[in-house]
Amino acid sequence: MDFDGLINGIKANNFIIVGRVGMDLFTQPGGATEDAEEMMVGMGGSSANIGAGICKLGGKAALVTRVSDDSIGRYCVGQLERYGVDATYVTPVGGEFRSSLAVYESRLEGHQSVIYRNGAADFQMDATDVSAVDYSAFGALITAGTVFAAEPSRAATFKAFDLAKAAGLPIIFDVDYRPYSWPSPKVAEEVLTRAAGVSDMIVGNDEEFGFMAGGIEKGLDKARALSETTAAMVVYKMGHEGAITFAKGEEIRTGIYPVEALKPTGAGDSFMAGLVTSLADGHDLKSSLLRGSACASVTVSRPGCAPAMADTETLEKFLANHPGPTAA
């Protein structure tokens, strides 16, 4: 699909998202997990966070996944509905499978994130789940790389790609490489490279592109090559140094909005939500990238992931009052 086709799909501002939803437990600001006597709770999971961010910014989103058939799974579904994410395609699974749990700290120095993913319920998503979706009702499909880490979720997601493409939807892929979810780096490299090769828009950081290329020094060339061969748009993120975006034969460099960060988690999910909803609202590509960066800055400055993500009013106020962004 070419760049115009990608943007036309995004402009529907209605996304089908494939991937996990979980529960987050996080400390009070500055606190260490081992010293905590109480913790805050919120919705987590990359795909669910992206969906929540999209809805908070005025878009529509539906999630396809599985959750555990217990109180944690019901919490996840309830949270999706609270944020306005359509949970029609979220299916409970019984037995010993469990929805993921993340325990992390609201601090930068010594930050620890502990993810419980053994017997993950979302990895039980199969072909029946993705085949139940009416793809023609949506403008684009979004997924994050964790969904490919195990079967049957991996095969189901590739089937969702095929079904979405058949319905004319662009595929938006956040590489989101999490080593702890994968059986080996070799499997991860092969599968993520395959997913990137069939995606219309790819978002990843320098380490993730470097991982797929066989070395971090090769990551930028990998991102550029994908934009010249298979993808209509590739966003190469470089943390505090900003991002380089490849689209329509151009390279667009953008900076960030410096803030006093409370923790590092949730930035990528909010960047994606801000980027696609801004494109849907008619902002040009560079402005949309910067709005995505602003969303990331808002999220890292507040506790939690989904709870910390900006709504439209928060984003506009942040942009009006912040002196940034930094130079590209």
- Reading the block at residue 198, the tokens are 């069939």
Backbone angles phi, psi at 302, to 5 degrees: -135, 155
Single out the residue of 203, 187, 191, 156 nearest to residue 46, CA to CA.
203
- The residue length of the chain stands at 328
Whether this prediction's pTM lies above 0.95 is answered by yes
DSSP 22-71: EEEEEPSTT--GGG-S--EEEEE-HHHHHHHHHHHTT-EEEEEEEEESSH
Residues 6+ apart with CB under 8 A from 316: none
What does pLDDT average to over the chain?
96
Mean pLDDT (whole number) for 190-207: 96
- Select the more confidently predicted residue: 56 or 178: 56
Q: How confident is the model at residue 59 (pLDDT cuts 50, 70, 90)?
A: very high
Distance CA 250, CA 228 (A): 10
Domain ranges of the chain: 3-321
Instruction: Identify whether the C-beta of residue 292 lies closer than 8 Å to the C-beta of residue 233.
Output: no
CATH architecture for segment(s) 3-321: 3-Layer(aba) Sandwich (3.40)
Strand partners, 101: 23, 116
Binned at pLDDT 50, 70 and 90, residue 328 comes out as confident
- Mean of pLDDT values over 305-314: 97
Using DSSP, state whether 172 is helix, strand or coil. strand
State the Cα–Cα distance between residues 97 and 125, nearest whole angstrom.
Answer: 11
| C-alpha closest to that of 142 among 20, 250, 255, 16 | 16
Alpha-carbon separation of residue 59 from 17, 46, 50, 92, 312 (angstroms): 13, 17, 11, 26, 10
pLDDT bin (cut points 50, 70, 90) of residue 327 is confident
H/E stretch holding 300 reads helix 285-300
pLDDT (tens digit per residue) in 89-107: 999 999 999 999 999 999 9
Per 3-state DSSP, the chain is made up of helix, strand and coil in percentages (nearest 5) of 45, 20, 35
**Cβ-contact 46, 269 below 8 angstroms:** yes
Tens-place pLDDT, residues 260-277 = 999 999 999 999 999 999
pLDDT tens digits, 118-158: 999 999 999 999 999 999 999 999 999 999 999 999 999 99
166 pLDDT above the threshold of 90: yes
Tokens 């309830």 found at: 78
Residue 47: pLDDT band by 50, 70, 90 thresholds? Answer: very high
Percent of the chain with pLDDT over 70: 100
